[in-house]
Amino acid sequence: MAKLLIVEARFYDHLNDLLLAGARAEIEAAGHTHETVTVPGALEVPGAVALASDSGRYDAYVGLGVVIRGETYHFEIVAGESARGLMALSMDGLAIGNGILTVENEAQALTRARPDEKNKGGEAAKAALAMLALRARFA
């Protein structure tokens, strides 16, 4: 049984609740356990994963959050840098599922976050578990 850490950027509560529900359901259905920590925004998700990885308490990580395009360039920075940070950690050998949604509007976010629709929280958890299995295979 693996222990996963879900790191959520809780900015849009109603959207994060949906992402969390999907991720937790997938992890529990696979027979694993999880904890959840909250960070202020998507840019902080990779940092929290890095800090947690130093503890050695977790086998895999799921990053969750929602970034909705606004009127400024900030969207591109947050979307790109959060993804880059998680990718760098995965290249260092961490098993991570990236469930940070980067969307144009709330309607797109709802469709992707709802567990009965695109279930991106659940997909991120599945990705983390798949990478964990792959790491074990190559160990």
Q: What is the pLDDT of residue 39?
A: 97
104 among annotated binding-site residues: no
pLDDT band at 71 (very low <50, low <70, confident <90, very high): confident
Query: Would you name the residues annotated as active-site residues?
Result: 74
Q: What is the pLDDT of residue 47?
A: 98
Q: What is the pLDDT of residues 9-32, one digit of tens each?
A: 998 999 999 999 999 999 999 999
Residue 32 and residue 63 in contact, taking contact as beta carbons nearer than 8 Å: no
Count the neighbouring beta carbons within 10 Å of the beta carbon of residue 72: 8
> Looking at residues 51-71, what average pLDDT do you find?
96
Residue 45 and residue 86 in contact, taking contact as beta carbons nearer than 8 Å: yes
Homologous superfamily assigned to 3-123: Lumazine/riboflavin synthase (3.40.50.960)
44 among annotated binding-site residues: yes
10 among annotated binding-site residues: no
> Looking at residues 37-50, what average pLDDT do you find?
97
48 among annotated binding-site residues: no
Lowest mean pLDDT, pick from 36-40, 50-54, 69-73: 69-73
Q: pTM to 2 decimals?
A: 0.96
Alpha helices in 1-139 (DSSP H): 13-29, 45-53, 74-91, 106-113, 120-138
